[in-house]
Chain A
Amino acid sequence: MQGANGFLIAAYIVVWLGFFAYLGWLALRMRGVRTELETVRALVDEHDRDGGREG
């Protein structure tokens, strides 16, 4: 069963690669949503100021 060790190493590599790929994707989405949130908050502030001037 010595030839089987390739499968053992492959399994652990796949798990950790998959896991870190997911973490990376998560970080990307997190960065995207933070930028989006900043943009939208700026827009809301602008919008509220305009609304305040009219009213």
Chain B
Amino acid sequence: MHVVGQPPAAPARGAPGLAPATGPARALEPVLRPLRAYGEYILAAASALGVILALWAAFFYAPTEAIQGDVQRIEYVHVPLAWVAYLAFFVVFAASILYLWRRDERWDLIARANAEIGTLFTTLVLVTGSLWGRPVWGAWWAWDARMTTTLILWFIYVGYLLLRSYTGRSEGGARSAAVLGIVGFVDVPINYLSITWWRTQHPAPQLPLGGEPQAPPAVVETLLLALLAFTLLYAYLLIQVYRLHRLQTEAERLRARIESA
């Protein structure tokens, strides 16, 4: 795996965001070119539309829950946020492995952008969960297994962002962060399984992976719509944050070049 004395492959410095199409993709060029030029606006419009539709469905389409009442509608923002947070942390994990393997700087920037977005969404998951728990369980926080592990997840990725801010944009810092991104992700499956390992107050998932939905169709439809909308929103955010980090790296590199000369 690692060979002593072998120089690391040179990272793609200042690489453009998307490589030009080659091979079979060339035939699709007439479709790809406008998509590349306007794709971001299409994505922005789609996520805005999706979010508005999801909001409408959450308040007017989904039925009122019999026991909890309207407050259960928090679910339609709480669950999609959690899903996007898991997705973002999974991308941190995958991009970290790819970075250590391929030494392409773009993977590092992707990992970094996803850690930031995942931390934001985990924060919102914890806040909405708390606001849901207070009226339903009578407590802001229950030290329940699922909540505790989500909080730990939050600590891990805040640690990741702290590490990144301490190491700057060095290659060694990027490798260290990639290792944390891999080790830290071990906590995510534990988090998901934890509700079945310990006694818990947290409800079982209504859309279990590979299982039958455990809720009325209107609830499931609203949830799926919200999941889609938030995933589109995540994709849009990811492009923005990735671009920000790419420009920051470029600026820092240029400045270092002047100052060293």
B and A form one assembly = yes
**Do residues A33 and B251 form an inter-chain contact, with CB atoms below 8 A?**
yes
A4-B71, A7-B131 as given contacts; A33 in contact with B248, CB under 8 Å: yes
Of the candidates A3, A5, A37, which one forms a contact with B247 in the assembled complex, judged by CB atoms under 8 Å apart?
A37
Of the candidates B78, B244, B251, which one forms a contact with A26 in the assembled complex, judged by CB atoms under 8 Å apart?
B244
The answer for the CA separation of A36 and B70 in the assembled complex, in Å, is 48
Give chain A nearest CB distance to B251 CB in angstroms: 5
**Do residues B258 and A4 form an inter-chain contact, with CB atoms below 8 A?**
no
**Do residues A47 and B124 form an inter-chain contact, with CB atoms below 8 A?**
no
The answer for the CA separation of A24 and B259 in the assembled complex, in Å, is 31
13 A-B pairs in the complex with CB atoms less than 8 angstroms apart: A1-B68, A1-B69, A1-B71, A7-B74, A15-B77, A22-B120, A26-B237, A30-B240, A33-B248, A40-B254, A43-B254, A43-B258, A47-B261
B: contact size bracket: 20 to 34
Residues of A within 8 A of B (CB): 1-5, 7-8, 10-12, 14-15, 18-19, 22, 26, 29-30, 33-34, 36-37, 40-41, 43-44, 47, 51
Sample of 20 more A-B contacts, CB < 8 Å, known A18-B127, A26-B244:
A1-B69, A1-B70, A2-B69, A4-B135, A5-B70, A7-B71, A7-B135, A8-B70, A8-B74, A11-B78, A12-B55, A14-B127, A14-B128, A15-B128, A19-B124, A26-B240, A37-B247, A37-B251, A44-B254, A47-B261
The answer for the CA separation of A30 and B237 in the assembled complex, in Å, is 13
The answer for the CA separation of A29 and B242 in the assembled complex, in Å, is 12
A1-B68, A4-B70, A4-B71 as given contacts; A40 in contact with B258, CB under 8 Å: yes
A4-B70, A7-B134, A8-B73 as given contacts; A15 in contact with B124, CB under 8 Å: yes
